[in-house]
Structure 1
Amino acid sequence: MTRTDLAPLEQPTRRRFLQAGAALALSVQLGGLVSKAEAAAPGKFGADSMPGGVVDNPLVFVSIGQDGIVTIVAHRAEMGTGVRTSLPMVVADEMEADWSRVRIVQADANETRYGSQNVDGSRSMRHFMMPMRRVGASARQMLEAAAAAQWSVPVAEVRAQNHEVVHTPTGRKLGYGELAGAAMRQPVPAAEQLRLKQPEAFRYIGKGRIMPTDSRDIAEGKATYGIDVRLPGMVYAVIARPPVFGGKLRRVDSADTLKVPGVLRVVELKGFDGPPLFNPVGGVAVVASNTWAAMQGRAALKLEWDDGANGAYDSATFRTTLETAARRPGTAMRNDGDALGALAAAPAGQKLSAEYYVPHLAHASMETPVATARFVDGKCEIWAPSQAPQGALEAVAKHVGLAPKDVTVHLTLLGGGFGRKSMADFICEAALVSKAIGGTPVKLQWTRDDDIHHDYFHTVSVEHMEAALGAGGKPSAWLHRTAAPTIKSTFAVGAMGQADFEAGMTAINVPFGIPGIRLESADVPAHTRIGWFRSVSNIPHAFAVQSFVAELAHKAGRDPKDYLLELIGPARRIDPTTLSDKWNYTESPDVYPLDTGRMRAVIEEAARRARWGRKLPKGHGLGIAVAYSFVTYVATVVEVAVDAKGQVTIPRVDMAIDCGPQVNPERIRSQVEGGCVMGLSLAMLGEITFQDGRVQQSNFHDFEVLRSHMAPRAIHTWMVGGSFDVPPGGVGEPPVPPVAPALCNAIFAATGKRIRSLPIRDQLAGKAKTV
């Protein structure tokens, strides 16, 4: 089923909130103050008082109608994390709302009103849990004050409870709908007067009782994704883009295309100059009365391209370039002690070196990029599955020559994102095509081939590791050289070398008790678009670091789990800046130190649950790995079974996570399971290769994802910690990084063969000797 109305998701408007049925409307501002919607002063906010310091400007609306229905705005996009449920659930809990009487509406792009709407970086709950709690608490206290005034009793004698306010001495009750108008006239509690619930009083937070808001609509085919948008008079378009990054169109012959039934127009789009940013790459758009006709028309185009500077890009050759760069001294980003001196002085038998390779990866989300655009009265309106709606709004405004106030971006559900849909190139394409044909509504659709060929790819990397072993087999020196095209190249032409945030992902911030630790970054160019990807540089760095730790443990004759714990050392709270980490996932090092006690706890829990050390059948092995990413701690134990032909099956995976407060355990478990499957898919199958500047893969037959028969027979998620005494961490990205090293360490335990190059694919075929 598809929606046929003009607004695919119900949009919150002031009229809707403040019309006769909506009497109370609140918003949260950055200073922790809640103000009436009428009095809000967009764009003027102070420093946030929530744990973690200054964050983006949250401005979230809540309303109560005279019928008692509570309407909560979801200001962040839903792409499977459950954020459209979890954040409103926090508000509802604090305001003592009955969840069955809560309605959720999706905000348009408007960061002036709603604060940051960018859902990259696993930040939704860690940046907005406390502001949302303050919204709910303010609503509750204003309702209580209104009831006390109506009864002429002290406010201390009343309390909100399950959508009603009760006068404790007499048992009198007033419903939220009855009080909404009077509550609106109450003064908003000052920050110091807010009474947040104690965790033991929570009804929804941490209980795992609330299913995702969109579940039923998704199951019944009623949910509106980007592809489901339908507008009156809408036409459809696909684009033939340059096959090589940076290429330009030389010539197009569209005569045969215009003969295809249903084809309406052919439109040339100019490519970008300068850094890629999130710009369209240009090409030729075919506009038709339906998507199939547009695709057939594109196939009939006669095109000649100038491949440009990247026409010779070959990923196999570039791997050699990366290996050469990783073996040479690079730019030092961390240098504790004298790692180079210790390595030079160590006898050959007490040294170990290894290199780890991770190829380019594509996002390959289930819903390919798609956006719908139209122009009415000189203004542009967009419907799109965007992770960064404000960024999309501003990019569209720039490309079509409008002021941002004349662009509206409506958010649909995202059929997967993983970072790809934070890039607005496909949204700008829809707007440009619509403008070119006079403002007619256009749905710009990417095919799967388009998605694979023209992605913002995860970077390719070689990680060179060296260590010298001292007493007891413990390292006295640790050298990590990383060579990878940087995401900085997306924003600046010719940028090379790891950015601080890239180094801060499981490379520079290893908390090991080693006298000499050195991290170096090599300068290597980018020959394709590099973009955000789920867990970003944690993928190659964690693969290298955690695989190398297991190799060191083997050389030292030690149990890998015990050796890892010994390297981490005793429980302590480390200021990340003392490890030369200038980033720490944007968080204050005082509020978010690197806590080795929490890291140890997830390792020990995953190992305990997996029954680490148990006797296994022949050909089975256990592998372990841990990663601190997005201020969350995740440890993974993978059990593998490798048969005589080298076929790998995975009987069980145990994952322990400490993300701080567990607001919605059902969604945490879901994201951990999804991260596990994605991590295994990337490790076993994921690879994008280039020849003559062109991506060699095109669809799921050659860029494979994990099929059900390859998936783990069981994934167990174990939640550690959960105290509200620590600030919240991220959940969407942290499960991915430890999966690949745990898998490869398990393969070594089962077969004695080291996997240092991903994907695994058939590396074990006919070569594995099970142990």
Structure 2
Amino acid sequence: MTSTRRSFLKIAASAGGGLVLGFNWFDAVAADTLQAGGGLPALVHSSKNAAAAASVEFNSFLSIAPDGLVTILSPNPEIGQGIKTAFPIVVAEELDVDWNRVNVVQSALDNKKFDRQLTGGSGAIKHSWTRLRKAGATARQLLMQAAAQRWSVPVTELTTDKGVVFHKASNRKLPYGELVADAAKLPVPADVPLKDPKSFKLIGGTIKNVDNKNILTGKPLFGIDFYREGMLTGMIQRPAFGYKLKSVDAKAAKAMPGIVDVVTFKNNVAVVGKSTWQVKKAREALKIEWEKDGSTESNADHDRLFTEMLNGGKATVQRKDGDVDAAFKSAAKVVKAEYQCPFLPHSPMEPMNFFAHVKFGPNGPESCELAGPTQTPDMARNETAKLLNIPADKITVELTRMGGGFGRRLKADYVVEAAELSSLVKAPVKLIWTREDDMTGGSYRPAVRYRFEAALDAQGNLIGYKLRGASINAGNSTRQDNFPSGAVPNLLIDSVDHKSPITTGAWRAPITNFLAFAEQSFIDEVATAAGKDPVQFRLDLLDKAKASPTGAIKYDIDRMIAVIKLAAEKAGWGQKKGADGKAVAQGFSVYFSHNSYVAQVGEVVMQKGKPVLQKIYAAADCGIIINQSGARQQVMGGIVDGIGHAMYGNMTFKDGVPQQANFNDYRLIRMNEVPAVEVHFVDNGIEPTGLGEPALPPTGAAVSNAYFKATGQRLRNQPFINQDGFKGVS
């Protein structure tokens, strides 16, 4: 992690072909070694058969050594979504190489060679699918051309398999390693053929995450593990929301063992020292006085604001179709409901941290080295460049694996803090947030309240639909073009937002993480009021949108219908009976987000008078599956996350001060509360779309709608455990 990609190639070259430096954790001949100057492991691979030549860099994504070892660079930050495994699989597939001969290396930031080098919005695979395939296919074509020249045969007569070129007519073959030197001299072809998906060997299979062994054995992969000889450790005391620094007495802290300095900047007080424990204890010894700046807010303020925004706030119309007023005036029945969600912290298991080393010249900062867990390395670099007033190309960013992020690490505030602290103390500094820092000083999911209204005619048809989103720091809290828009002839969607000093930001599946629960729960309420089956009610709306759409349709109707039918089929919708012979209470939900479609069926059974969530069925359409293992984990992880936060997550504020600071008072789902999860994928052969986020939004409604079927009570407010009359779901 302390070597750049450029130095990696330089080391390989200087080794005369006998050594190839890489990160293949599973190679039997690999031996752990510590890189000079750093604390993260590398692996050195030796080969007695390697020719005296360096690895050949075919393109930005891959190089091949003379012994046939393939090194594939994975440029996007790895946050647990499996991108560090998925990207190389795509390259290796088109290269047609043996996966056991592949080393995967996390690339540092290099936006001259890589495009969209970030993790967010579930868009990495969709964005890079074709360029990754071309990277592998181009190298494969060059190797085949080199073999064709050596054998004096047409390249069209050659085939490849597991890193070997074959000429079956003459029964000859050559491994890639013996061709790399010749291939490197050939001009790069402008256009190369890509594999027919029917011939994929790796894509669509089940491949272990390349970091599994190191995670399980505690190898230092994460930002919190990063170590640089001579670095200092820093911690910052930040104010609560709506407060500013009045005074600080640091005398006692400065006198404590291992403490190098105490500095103040931008309303913050930072302690810098030689070890995490010494710095933490010294920070506790600080005597800080804060004062309100007049903008503090409490939950009671937000309740009042929500009421005002829903009843009389100046709303921004996001979409309007037909004559809504006329539809509601003529309605045979009107259904109304409100749903509310709280602020939520991101709660990644690895708190925020980052390493920064600002280097000075005679006129001030000249360059900076950054290393750590960030979803947006380019933003981190650019924000640091602004802070230091130096060119962005004078800043390097090494990427470590992240122990979660869920959108929190899209921001660069903690990176800039590390850089500023390094510049103030003129030394390399690793900034560390404690769990309490992370939970109380972070960026939260916005709090939102939704009001829905539906107009039904005498036949139970949905003829009018209204949605108002009232939010704290969410901006537009709706997704006005998502289903059921386009399926209702008269529709009005608007939003109102309040600007608060409580910082908010993207939280896994932004906006839709709660909106989907509210919309899909309300659609169930409307179906019940219309006397119709909830699944058929949705299918009828989609058929209507397809036959006679109202306004723009910005979701794929057929893809949504397909996941609905698949989920209903796999769950045995409406047909299952429990051990007691009674029907199993099932709840349905479907949602489109991040270019993918996920439908879910939740099952609740009554045991000793108490509702028990026993299973979730999920059907997902995200196009071609790169890695079955990674894809299933993403869906299952999203479902567990969705259940846990719908059931338990709650962040409250009093006078701007967060009332929950650690997991002793902020409830997360526990392992014994996770139901069985069964995942199915729609096989339609389209190019891949996102999967890191789409499985979370539908989950809350699948649970709440099943709970209603079992108990007769509607769950409209999250967390469910705080709702009056909640009987509990175990």
Task: With the length of structure 1 as denominator, give the TM-score of the two structures.
Answer: 0.84
SS in 2 for 1:702: coil
Partner of 1:32: none
- Per-residue CA deviation, residues 285-315 of structure 1 (Å, 9 max, x unaligned), is 011221111111111111122332422x012
Contact 1:75 1:108 in 2 (8 A): yes
Contact 1:73 1:105 in 2 (8 A): yes
Partner of 2:311: 327
Contact 2:612 2:729 in 1 (8 A): no
Amino acid at match of 2:703: L
- Per-residue CA deviation, residues 727-751 of structure 1 (Å, 9 max, x unaligned), is 3210000000000111111111110
Contact 1:143 1:160 in 2 (8 A): no
Mapped to 1, the partners of 2:379 and 2:551 lie a distance apart of 30
Contact 1:268 1:285 in 2 (8 A): yes
Q: Does 1:758 align with 2:718?
A: yes
Quick one: structure 1 residues 421 and 453, their matched pair in 2 at CA, closer, same or farther if it must change by over 3 Å? Answer: same
Task: Give 1:269's match in structure 2, choosing from 265, 278, 283.
Answer: 265
Amino acid at match of 2:130: M
Quick one: structure 1 residues 240 and 576, their matched pair in 2 at CA, closer, same or farther if it must change by over 3 Å? Answer: farther
Mapped to 1, the partners of 2:489 and 2:321 lie a distance apart of 7
Q: Does 1:480 align with 2:441?
A: no
TM superposition shift of 1:511: 4.3
Partner of 1:100: 100
Partner of 2:56: none
Q: Does 1:686 align with 2:646?
A: no
Query: Between Structure 1 and Structure 2, how many residues are aligned?
Result: 682
Contact 2:484 2:541 in 1 (8 A): no
Amino acid at match of 2:437: D
Amino acid at match of 2:417: E
Q: Does 1:447 align with 2:447?
A: no
Mapped to 2, the partners of 1:287 and 1:367 lie a distance apart of 20
- Per-residue CA deviation, residues 166-217 of structure 1 (Å, 9 max, x unaligned), is 11211111111110011111121222xx111111211101122x21111111
Q: Does 1:666 align with 2:666?
A: no
Amino acid at match of 1:566: D
Give the alignment of 1:42-191 within 5 angstroms: 60-191=60-191
- Per-residue CA deviation, residues 705-733 of structure 1 (Å, 9 max, x unaligned), is 10112111x1001111241xx23210000
Q: Does 1:234 align with 2:234?
A: no
Q: Does 1:214 align with 2:211?
A: yes
SS in 1 for 2:121: helix
Partner of 2:679: 717
Give the alignment of 1:111-510 within 5 angstroms: 111-191=111-191, 194-208=192-206, 210-245=207-242, 247-270=243-266, 282-311=267-296, 313-328=297-312, 330-346=315-331, 350-376=333-359, 378-438=366-426, 440-487=427-474, 497-498=475-476, 503-504=478-479, 508-510=482-484
Structure 2 unaligned regions, length at least 5: 21-58, 361-365
Identity %: 36
Pairwise CA RMSD: 2.5
TM superposition shift of 1:574: 10
TM superposition shift of 1:507: 6.0
TM superposition shift of 1:523: 3.5
Mapped to 1, the partners of 2:264 and 2:647 lie a distance apart of 40
Amino acid at match of 2:432: Q
SS in 1 for 2:205: coil
Quick one: structure 1 residues 125 and 23, their matched pair in 2 at CA, closer, same or farther if it must change by over 3 Å? Answer: farther
SS in 2 for 1:670: helix
TM superposition shift of 1:248: 2.2
Partner of 1:640: 604
- Per-residue CA deviation, residues 541-577 of structure 1 (Å, 9 max, x unaligned), is 1112101100011111222112122222268499998
Amino acid at match of 1:285: A
Mapped to 1, the partners of 2:500 and 2:185 lie a distance apart of 58
Partner of 1:626: 590
Quick one: structure 1 residues 507 and 570, their matched pair in 2 at CA, closer, same or farther if it must change by over 3 Å? Answer: closer
TM superposition shift of 1:112: 2.2
Quick one: structure 1 residues 663 and 511, their matched pair in 2 at CA, closer, same or farther if it must change by over 3 Å? Answer: farther
Partner of 2:506: 532
SS in 1 for 2:88: helix
- Per-residue CA deviation, residues 416-463 of structure 1 (Å, 9 max, x unaligned), is 11111111111111111111111x221111011111111111111011
Mapped to 2, the partners of 1:523 and 1:156 lie a distance apart of 62
Contact 1:372 1:382 in 2 (8 A): yes
Q: Does 1:602 align with 2:563?
A: yes
Quick one: structure 1 residues 573 and 293, their matched pair in 2 at CA, closer, same or farther if it must change by over 3 Å? Answer: farther
Amino acid at match of 2:254: L
Task: With the length of structure 2 as denominator, give the TM-score of the two structures.
Answer: 0.89
Structure 1 unaligned regions, length at least 5: 25-58, 271-281, 488-496, 580-592
SS in 2 for 1:351: strand
- Per-residue CA deviation, residues 122-176 of structure 1 (Å, 9 max, x unaligned), is 0111111111001111111110000111111111222222111111211111111
Partner of 2:49: none
SS in 1 for 2:338: strand
Q: Does 1:518 align with 2:518?
A: no
Partner of 1:40: none
Contact 1:23 1:181 in 2 (8 A): no
Amino acid at match of 1:624: F
Contact 1:507 1:519 in 2 (8 A): no
Contact 1:63 1:70 in 2 (8 A): yes
Quick one: structure 1 residues 110 and 621, their matched pair in 2 at CA, closer, same or farther if it must change by over 3 Å? Answer: same
Amino acid at match of 2:655: D
TM superposition shift of 1:763: 3.2
TM superposition shift of 1:17: 6.8
